[in-house]
Structures are given as structure tokens and as C-alpha cells.
Amino acid sequence: MRYEIRVDGQMSDTLIAAFPELESFLVQHQTVLFGPVVDEAQLYGLLSRLQALGLRVAEMRRLPE
């Protein structure tokens, strides 16, 4: 499975480095993280990490294979 997670604001390089399993790019007022997620446990782990870092998820969606 591949997911796209849109985070409000521009994440710093340090914050992006906290997600080495994902790629990223910037769009207007958002950082987009995307990449493979092997199971629900990994997905919940990503979301927990985002929350722990004080980041707000604006949108999350599964991408077509």
C-alpha cells in the first residue's frame, strides 16, 4: 500500500528526517509525505509520530498501486 499524508505548513529538514521511510515535497502551505506503508501498525506509528511532533495532518489518503 502507498499513502499520501498532507501536513499543514512547511516542515523543516529536521522534521522531514524523522520520516526516513517517506519521500516529501512542498505545495502551497503544506508538506506532502508519501510512500509505502506495509500495514496498519506502521500507519498508526506514522500518525503517532506526526502527533508527537505537534504536526497537524490536513489529509491522508491511500494511493492507487
SS3 assignment, position 52 = helix
Share of the chain above pLDDT 90, in %: 98
Question: Would you state the pLDDT for residue 65?
Answer: 81
- Separation in Å, CA 29 to CA 6, 15, 23, 56, 57: 10, 16, 17, 12, 12
CA distance 57 to 59: 6
Amino acid at 11: M
pLDDT of the residue at 12: 95
Per-residue pLDDT band for 55 (boundaries 50, 70, 90) equals: very high
Q: Which residue has the cell 496498519?
A: 40
